[in-house]
Every structure is written in C-alpha cells, then in structure tokens.
Amino acid sequence: MSGYGSHDERETYALVAEFDSAEALLAAAEAARVAGFKKMDAYSPFPIHGLSDAIGFKSNAVPFAVLGGGLLGGLTGYSLQYYVHVLDYPMNVGGRPLVSLPAMVPITFELTILFSGLTAFFSMIALNRLPKPYHSIFNTPGFERATQDRFFLAIEAKDKNFDPQRTHEFMRGLNPLSLNEVHA
Amino acid sequence: MAKETLNDVLITGQPTYAAVEDSIGRLVLNQKVHKRQWWYFFLFGMMGAGLLLVSIFWLLYQGIGIWGNNVPVAWAFDIVNFVWWIGIGHAGTLISAILLLLKQQWRNSINRFAEAMTIFAVMCAGMYPLLHTGRPWVAIYWLFPYPNILGMWPQFRSPLEWDVFAVSTYFTISLVFWFMGLIPDFAVLRDRAKNRTTKVLFAILSLGWRGSNQHWHRYEQANLLLAGLSTPLVLSVHTIVSFDFASSIVPGWNVTVFPPYFVAGAVFAGFAMVLNFLIPVRAYYNLKHLVTMRHIDWMAKIMLATGMIVFYGYILEVFYTWYSGSVFEFKLLMDRFSGPYAWSYWMLIFCNGVVPQLMWVPKFRRNLVLVWIVSAIVGVGMWLERFVIIPVSLTNNYLPSSNKMYYPTFWDFAMFFGTIGFFFFLMFLFIRFLPIINIFEVKDLVHKMLTGTAKTEPSTRPAQQPVGAGE
C-alpha cells in the first residue's frame, strides 16, 4: 500500500488495484462502473469475455474502419482494371467485351481482402496508440505480472469522481491483493 | 515408446497460467534448452538454404535452360513446387482462421506453429513463379501493375495475373495476422525476460502492449475480422491456383472439379506437414501437455477427411474423362494409367488414396510413429499429384508428333531440396527465437477450463460436473 498518504510531488496518474483472478477483476470493474467511475481501465494477461461491458467501454471503430478499407480496396481493384483495360489500353481479344466482369472478380476480391485486412491491423495499432514505449501504468509495482497471471484495475485521476481519499477507500473495499497510487 | 493416454482434456498436467507460460516462454528465454539436436537440424537447413542460393545464382546466370523444362513441357518442377508449397501453407490459415470462427478451442495450442509454417511455405512458393520467368527483375512489370516507361500493363483477365494478386495478398495477410497474434506474447516475454538486451528487444517488438481492456477489445475485434477475411482468402488462393490449369485447354487440366479438389488437397498436405513437424517438436521440447494426443488425433482425422475428398477428386477426373468423350482427354488418362509415367500415377494413388485409410483405426492414430510416417507419405503423395497433373499432362500434346518426355535435371532437384532446406532453416530459427505456442490464447483456454466453459466433446466433460444431474 505504498503511495497513499505520502506527500509526493509528482502528479498522480491513477489508483491501481491488483487481483488474482479474472472473476475478481470483472466484479471489481462492475462495482467501479456502478459507483460512477468512467476513466478507468483493466489490465489482464488475456482477453476476458464481458470485461468491456463491466467497464462500460464501447468501441466499434475497428470494424467500421475495416468496412471502409474493404470498400476502398474493392473500388481500387475494380477501377484499376477498368482504367487499364477500358480507358488506357483497350485491347480487343477475339471480340470479347472490354468490361469482362467475371474475369475482373478475382482481383477485385483480392484487393478488398488486402485493404480490409491491413486496415484491421493498422487501425487496431493506431487506435490503441501503439507503439508506445512509455506509459504511466508501467510504474505500478509488480505490473510485469499483468501479462502473466495478475489482473489490474486502474481508476485514473482524470476521472470526475476521483478523490484521492474516497476512491482509495472505495478500492480497498474491492478486496484487492494490493492497492497502489501510481504517478505519471 | 511410452504410451500416452488419450482424453478430452485440452491441456493435461497442471493447467496454471504460470506453468503454461513457463513451458512455452522457456524455449525462448532459456536458450540452454536447445541442445545439439537443434544445431543438426539448423545446419541441415542452412546447407539447404545454401544450395538454394547456389541454384538461384546459377539459374540467373545461365537462364532457365539449366532446367529440364522444354516445349511442350513448359511448366514442370517450378510450378509443381510452387503449388506444393502454397498448399502446405493452407493448413496454417485453416487452423488459425477457420477453426477460430468455428470456435474450436483446441486450435489455440497449434495455431502459432501452423501459421509460421504458412508464412515460410508461402515464401518458398513465391520464389518459383518469380524465378521461372528467368529474369525476375524484368518480371516486375509483367506481374505488378505500375505505370512503366513502356506504357504496358499486365493482362488482368489472365488467371496467372489473378495468381499474383492472390498469392501476394495471402502472404501479406498471413504475415499481419501472425505478427498481430505475436504482439501480446512479446509483451509476456518482455515482462519475463531477465536479461536486459532480451527485454529491450521484446519491448520493441511488443510495441508497448499493456494488455489493457481497450487493447484487448480492439485486438479481439481485429482478430475476428482478420479470421473472417482470411477464410474466403485461403479458399480463393488455391481456387485461383487451380484456375491456372482449369481455365486452359490442355487435356487433363480443363476440369471443373479442380478448385474444390485443389483446396482439399492443400489442407490435406498442410495438416500432414504440421504433424510431421509437431510430433517430434512436442516430444523434444516437452510440450506434450499442451499439444496432446487429442490434438494429434483430431489432426489425423482432418487429414483422413480431406484425403478422402482428394481421392474423390481423382475418381471424378476419371469419370469426367470418360463422360466427356474427348479423344485427347481419354488418351491422356490411358497414358496416366499405363504410359511411361504410370509409376507416378499409381504411387500417387497409393500415397494419397490407400495409406491415409490407416487413419480410420483409432489405435493407429495413437501410434505417433505411424502417424508421422503416414503424414510423410502424404507429403510425397501430394507432390506426386502436382507432378502427375502438371508435366505429365503436358507431355501429351494435341499434335502427337510433338509429344515429348520430360526429364528433370540436377538443378531442378537442387532447387526443390534447396527450398526444403530453407523451410527447415526458418522453422528452426522460429522454434528457437519466437514463442511457438500462442501463450495468451492457451492461458485463455486454461481460464475457460478452470471455470468450466471450455468446449470439449459433450460425452467427456470434466469429471467435476455432476453425473446424471439432468435425470
């Protein structure tokens, strides 16, 4: 329980509670959301089903970006072929039509997949603000276990309801293994 | 060898997060687990890669005249090997994408390995179409559409051009999918590493992954979307590869059964290769509790099922030849049955049609040596399949006077064995320096097992469930 009470000059980033199971984290996140906290995040070694609901985090930016990427890819594939075979270099092969749609399907399809797949990856990276070599949460004692076998809940100081003392008491009520005040 | 039991628990022994992490992370963080045997395989692979380099150099210096290809057999080992390698890659995508969509949780402990095989196999495959042009530096404007000084474009109506797009998309998406899955695992290794250099290296590779709920939320969305996109992609790749043949008028190629039977053949060969690698690796690196007999059993069953589809394809080829009434098709068929290359056809039937039937017997599926041998034979069989389809069909021309035998040269074999060596080289680097099993997905599985939500077959739920509760 380091941090609390000591008058540190540095700015507080968050209060971070540590738990030993996914279920405890889920319950704690749920309780914190019900208590009215918004600026918080949970850290776990693997994705936990229902954690976003418990925390109240909603985002469909990645799927929409992928939809956009896919449409752009399909359009690129088709218009590339149309431009080449109809506008720039029309070539009559045995009287076949210049816009030979069935033959244009494979490349249109492949570029749709290529663009949407790359969008999925890069939008995930960008929206998660990666790469990010430094983040305040890494100052949490024992945080290296967040990728191993421990589960953390951080209520950030930016939150409107955050009050160093009362939030600390609230979080103690969640029965964490440890509770730390983490500095930015 | 010691008998291993077959049960429906996907992780045997003590399933805890720490135990899982230790058995996988150890292979990267404790380099001492890699003993002399690793070096034998690595050096074997390196020699193969060297042979590949030499044969590429000689090919570029001399031109493709060093190969046995000549009209009418313009496509031979180059295309046989291309199709063989790309097929091997397909099992990885099947495991990582299709089984994910089908919520088959047993895939969690084999997907990373299979995906790595996909990437390396596609690298081997991609070399051949480039090199068989003889002048790959010029091939850039034959293959990729870019505004060049000649004002020329590729012919987008050609299946060969579709192939360029299919294979390059496949490689890119597989690589991205693989790397994305590695990011959280790099973070695990960063946090476990004791050595400063290792820590910094994995910190860079992990991009600063924190495992926050927001990260996982978007990761899961992106992962599911990539799986959904890879599924039609993998089916399209081998379909388009088969169009290279099926849309031509060469007897023996012009068959509508090609796309589905090529896709099934790809999965068949791919699973065989996964088994060939995983069986020794799991034994040597003590991963038997993560890749259990259950996994081997299911993979053997998939191999059997896809093998049957492939065999059905062979039967249909014969049927359609007869049904078409085409003289040239019929002549080719007779040539396959009893011509100068009959040995390859009958060996193909033996390898792909007869031998995999052993996998019907549960006892044989539990005999690892036998499963390994069957898988190796399937690998040979699938290579023969492409040999029978590609050069053997081409030796039969519409004009009988131009029929000609095909004889591969030393350099044909050198390049083929060279790519096998290169594949080994990359695989053994992968085994040593990257987590070969997806750590966080296996932890997820552990979590599901502990909370009783892991999906196994209904007949064999974990024993803690009350027996006969619903009666």
DSSP tally for chain B: helices H, then strands E: 18, 0
Q: pLDDT digit string (tens) for B230-257?
A: 999 999 999 999 999 999 988 889 888 9
CATH code for the domain of B191: 1.20.1630.10
Token pair of B3, please?
């008998």
Report CA B471 to chain centroid distance, whole Å.
Answer: 46
Average pLDDT score over chain A: 90
- Count of pairs with CB atoms under 8 A, one residue in A, one in B: 185
B24 assigned to some structural domain:
no
Q: How many domains does chain B have?
A: 1
Query: CA of B145, closest CA in chain A: separation in Å?
Result: 9
What is the token pair recorded at A180?
Answer: 């730390």
Q: Give A-chain residues touching B174 at CB under 8 angstroms.
A: none
User: Nearest to residue B49, comparing CAs of B124, B108, B117?
Assistant: B124
Chain B partners within 8 Å of A52 (Cβ): 213, 217
- Phi/psi of residue A156, nearest 5 degrees: -85, 150
Contacts of B267 (CB under 8 A, 6+ apart): B90, B91, B94, B302, B306
Does residue A4 have a pLDDT over 70? no
Name the residue among A51, A62, A106 with its Cβ closest to that of B165: A106
Instruction: Using a pLDDT cut of 70, give the percent of chain B over it.
Output: 94
pLDDT (mean) for B19-45: 89
Q: Which residue in chain B is spatially nearest to A23 when comparing CA positions?
A: B451
User: How many Cβ atoms from other residues are within 10 Å of residue A140's Cβ?
Assistant: 24
Report CB contact under 8 Å: B162, A106.
Answer: yes
Give residue B124's pLDDT.
Answer: 95
Cβ pair A147:B187 closer than 8 A: yes
Q: What is the pLDDT of residues B407-439, one digit of tens each?
A: 999 999 999 999 999 999 999 999 999 999 999
Quick one: pLDDT at residue A8? 56
- To the nearest whole angstrom, how far is the Cα of B265 from the nearest Cα of chain A? 21
Nearest CB among B16, B213, B451 relative to A55 is that of B213
Q: CA A109, CA A106: separation in Å to the nearest integer? A: 5
Contact B221 A124 (CB under 8 A): yes
Residue B9 lies in a domain: no
Compute the CA torsion angle B415, B421, B426, B427 (nearest 10 deg): 130
pLDDT exceeds cutoff 70 at B464? no
In a domain, B287, yes or no: yes
CA gap A156, A84 in Å, rounded: 55
Before B184, cis peptide (omega within 30)?
Answer: no
The span from the CA of B274 to the CA of B92, in Å, is 8
Examine residue B165 and state whether it is found in any structural domain, yes or no: yes
Coil vs helix vs strand at A17: strand
Contact check, Cβ <8 Å, A117/B166: no
CB contact under 8 A, B225 and A47: no
Position B22 scores a pLDDT of 83
Supply the range of the domain harboring residue B437.
29-456
Distance CA A3, CA A1 (A): 6
Burial letters B16-45, b for 16+ CB under 10 A, else e: ebebbbebbbbbbbeeeebeeebeebbeeb
pLDDT at B455: 55
Higher pLDDT, B169 or A164: B169
Whose structure tokens read 């060469």?
A: B250
pLDDT of the residue at B460: 41
For A115, left (φ over 0), alpha (ψ -120 to 50), or beta? alpha
**Confidence band for A11, pLDDT divided at 50, 70 and 90:** confident
Q: Report the Cα–Cα distance between both ends of chain A, in Å, rounded.
A: 17
Q: Which of A43, A89, A144 lies closest to B212 in CB terms?
A: A43
Structural domains in chain A, sorted by start: 12-45+149-183 (3.30.70), 61-127 (no CATH)
Chain A residue with minimum CA distance to B16: A149
Closest chain A residue to B161, measured at CA: A107
pLDDT, position B3: 62
Give the pLDDT score at B105.
83
pLDDT of residue A3: 46
pTM (two decimals): 0.91
Residue of A nearest to B179 (CA): A121
Q: Using pLDDT thresholds of 50, 70 and 90, give the confidence band for residue B347.
A: very high
Residue B16 belongs to a domain: no
Q: How many helices (H) and strands (E) does chain A have?
A: 5, 4
Q: How close does chain B come to A136, measured CA to CA in Å?
A: 11
User: Is there a contact between B190 and A147 if contact means CB atoms under 8 Å apart?
Assistant: yes
pLDDT at A106: 96
Span B86-123, pLDDT tens digits: 999 988 888 888 888 888 888 888 889 999 999 999 99
In-domain check, residue B466: no
